[in-house]
Amino acid sequence: MYVPAHFNEARTDVLHALIAQNPFGTLITHGASGLDANHIPFELAPNEGELGVLHAHVARNNPVWQDVANGDEVLVVFHAGDAYISPTWYPSKHESHRQVPTWNYVVAHAHGRITIRDDEKYVRGVVARLTRTHEAALPQPWKMGDAPAEYIEAMLKAIVGVEIGITRLVGKRKLGQNKDARDIQGAGEALKARENPIGDQMLACAALKQ
């Protein structure tokens, strides 16, 4: 990923938070059958390994877990929002007309090595933790014990665990940091009015430049 210095986000804690808040990632592999991409939810264990470990599962019918070998290099991409930016939102455009459209976004790339975990204890733990995390805010959280034991057993047999030890984290926050504060502010306010969360992040950037 191309990351100009002014868009670089290198803080591990910030990237861990981004992944935790946006856990639906794109797993990119280059196995025996070539390039592949799978879109799955991940659980980040930030205190495992040097940079954290990602835990997930895929359907047993998904060939990806047999296409890769333990130790293969993989990439997981996490998106934390994006937005089209119109030049008309920049105050300077109305003075000089020297602005063009762009697209702002926040992403984290987790490079790592994959291990396939085809065991019931591992996948049960992954599913239980993902469920607890994402059901927590619901008025009546679902838990695995709500379903018949034999049904859960059958479901667990239909999935395979995936573990990725992170070896490198690359982050990019393209929020107009190369623009004047008033232009970042103008675009941020326009996005906030459209209820795009990137707007709040741009307004924070504008405040730091003022």
Residue 109 lies in a domain: yes
Q: Rounded distance, CA 97 to CA 84, Å?
A: 18
Radius of gyration of the chain (CA): 21
Alpha helices (H) in 62-169, listed in sequence order: 64-67, 93-96, 120-135, 149-157
Q: What is the pLDDT of residues 71-113, one digit of tens each?
A: 999 999 999 999 999 999 999 878 887 889 999 999 999 999 9
| CATH code of the domain containing 123 | 2.30.110.10
Report the pLDDT value the prediction gives residue 73, as an integer from 0 to 100. Answer: 98
Residue 207 lies in a domain: no
Weakest mean pLDDT among 1-5, 104-108, 188-192, 204-208 = 204-208
pLDDT above 90 (res 10) = yes
Please tell me the chain's helix, strand, coil percentages from 3-state DSSP, rounded to the nearest 5. 35, 35, 30
Task: Give the H/E segment covering residue 201.
Answer: helix 198-209
Residue 69 lies in a domain: yes
The neighbour count for residue 22, using CB atoms within 10 Å, is 16
Confirm if 160 and 61 have CB atoms less than 8 A apart.
no
Residue 199 lies in a domain: no
Number of domains in the chain: 1
Q: What is the pLDDT of residues 16-54, one digit of tens each?
A: 999 999 999 999 999 999 999 999 999 999 999 999 999
pLDDT above 90 (res 209) = no
Q: 3-state DSSP call for residue 147? A: coil
Confirm if 131 and 142 have CB atoms less than 8 A apart.
yes
| Mean pLDDT within 150-170 | 97
DSSP-derived secondary structure for 50-67: TT-EEEEEEETT-THHHH
Residue 190 lies in a domain: no
Residue 63 lies in a domain: yes
Please give the residue range of the domain that contains residue 72. 5-84+102-179
pLDDT-derived band at 175 (thresholds 50, 70, 90) equals: very high
